[in-house]
Structure 1
Amino acid sequence: MNDAIIPYNAWILVSDASKALLLRNVGNAFNLMLEVQQVIENPHNAPAREQGTDKPGRVAMGSHRSSVGQTNFHEQQEERFLSMVAEKLEAICEQNDVHKLFVVAPPKALADLRRAMPETTRRRIAAEYDKDLVNLPLNEIERHLAA
């Protein structure tokens, strides 16, 4: 994982925009054994046609008129979910005295997580890995992180 060694008792957040796994390494730095501490899932997000059916709005500026872009309700829900994950992560880091945190997420989700995390949580991050591993079995996640 980019030359980062995951030591014993390190915490790993594996997330995307709809699911997050909070894992802890109960093995050692050379033999990862990840244990699931918490699973956070995004509640069902209805299809866009059920969330908003109006046409995009129009704006008049002097003699010019233009349309306003369509709201992406799914993207808004994903950003809210990642903000919620960041809040829960902050609370867990405080409660469990987490010193090293590793974050694994696809690039866009990683950027949204960084934006939502408070500075105290960001300082605990030892490494970031920009891959989508959240839907893989635990042994596959271990294999990717050990590589």
Structure 2
Amino acid sequence: MTDKITLKHDGWLVVADGEKALFLRNEGDEKFPNLAVFREQQQENPANRDQGADAPGRFNDGGPGTGSAPHRSAVAETDWHRLQKDRFAAELADILYKQAHKGRFEELVLVAAPGVLGQMRKELHQEVAGRIVGEVDKDLTNHPVGEIEKLVLHSEG
């Protein structure tokens, strides 16, 4: 990341992965940011092996009436863990839309693991997308707030 992002006073910074999101508000200003967590969103998302109970399915794709010998093919197993991450990204996009619609923030910076950021982009309403002043495709959810501030926001001080 070469350029640091600036965020106005009361601008929001959302740090997310597929299971946890931190909503931070800049209580400082563009020159001297001071991020504070004001909301945390979390969902339980066990590993895929703990969510799927069945073995991958199989089906016959040949045999009598088709002119070919019977052939069995495997059906890809559902990635429940990935689906939960996608649902969580959609849930965050919905929260941001509701808050933007209420006028709670003018500027937004999104910081998320690449897959989550991509899914959020797909789900974001125009009202939210128009307020984004920066995006960072990194998972920083387990970093201290001061480090997030240092890694993401421009600071001259």
TM-score (norm 2): 0.83
Give, in whole Å, the separation in 2 of the partners of 1:94 and 1:102: 17
Give, in whole Å, the separation in 2 of the partners of 1:95 and 1:70: 41
List alignment gaps of at least 5 residues for structure 2: 63-69
Q: 1:65 to 1:106 in 2, by over 3 A?
A: same
- Could you list the per-position Cα deviations for residues 11-64 of structure 1 after superposition, in whole angstroms to 9, with x for gaps in the alignment? 11111111101111110111110111211011x234544432222112333344
Aligned to 1:140: 147
Aligned to 1:37: 38
Aligned to 1:125: 132
Give, in whole Å, the separation in 2 of the partners of 1:137 and 1:3: 18
Give, in whole Å, the separation in 2 of the partners of 1:35 and 1:93: 19
Give, in whole Å, the separation in 2 of the partners of 1:57 and 1:141: 44
- Give the 3-state SS of the residue equivalent to 2:53 in structure 1: coil
Q: 1:54 to 1:122 in 2, by over 3 A?
A: same
- Could you list the per-position Cα deviations for residues 63-114 of structure 1 after superposition, in whole angstroms to 9, with x for gaps in the alignment? 4431111111111111111111111111112223422111011111100111
Aligned to 1:52: 52
**What is the total number of aligned residue pairs between the two structures?**
146
Alignment of 1:103 with 2:110, yes or no, is yes
Q: 1:58 to 1:90 in 2, by over 3 A?
A: same
Structure 1 letter corresponding to 2:36 = E
- Give the 3-state SS of the residue equivalent to 2:102 in structure 1: helix
Q: 1:121 to 1:71 in 2, by over 3 A?
A: same
**Structure 1 stretches of 4+ moved >6 Å:** none
List alignment gaps of at least 5 residues for structure 1: none
Q: 1:107 to 1:46 in 2, by over 3 A?
A: closer
Structure 2 letter corresponding to 1:118 = H
Q: 1:51 to 1:132 in 2, by over 3 A?
A: closer
TM-score (norm 1): 0.88
Aligned to 1:84: 91
Give, in whole Å, the separation in 2 of the partners of 1:110 and 1:131: 9
Q: 1:128 to 1:67 in 2, by over 3 A?
A: same
